[in-house]
Amino acid sequence: MDVQEIRKLESYMRRLFGNAKLRVVPRPKKDDCAEVCVGEESIGELFVDDDDEERSYNFQMPILPKNLDSSPNIQGTKKVEAYLKRLLSNTLIRVVPRPKKDDSAEVYVGEEFIGVLFIDDKERSYQFNLAILAIDLE
């Protein structure tokens, strides 16, 4: 990823999440991925996908149990929703169960679908995936 792509991705993610503290940082000696941070905290990675004719990007954010609220009245994906709202400083984030699926949930900002939350019950961990198309950056 070049500097211009990094800037476009950072601008897009800031708009999407409504968080000016979100940063996309190039990784030294790697031109196919970048680190995503909120302030100084690394929250995930962005990868380039050149497999199809159009360039796209995939944001992957692991969410470990130790990062989630330990409140006993908040369970499962609601804990993840609370964590994402707190981390990204955006109260419009929603995690919605998927019909007929128990291994994933959908993630929204307001009414806009933005990605999928994959659930690993065995490890009690989660991974948020967000696909970004080149057209999203225009």
Residue in this structure with the two tokens 């100084």, named with its chain if needed: 40
When comparing pLDDT for 72 and 127, which is higher?
127
Give the total number of structural domains in the chain.
Answer: 1
Structure tokens at 51: 């497999």
Whether residue 85 has pLDDT greater than 90: yes
Give the dihedral sign, CA 47/19/15/22: negative
Residue 70 Cα distances to 111, 128, 137, angstroms: 28, 20, 37
In this prediction the pTM is 0.89
Mean pLDDT within 52-73: 80
Which residue blocks in the chain are alpha helix, DSSP H? 3-17, 76-88
Write down the pLDDT at residue 67.
77
Q: 69 and 77 in contact (C-beta within 8 Å)?
A: no
Q: Give residue 26's domain range.
A: 3-137
Q: Given this model, what pLDDT does residue 72 score?
A: 52
Query: Which DSSP state fits 135?
Result: G
Q: Supply the pLDDT for residue 16.
A: 95
CB 130 within 8 A of CB 115: yes
Percentage of the chain beyond pLDDT 90 is 63
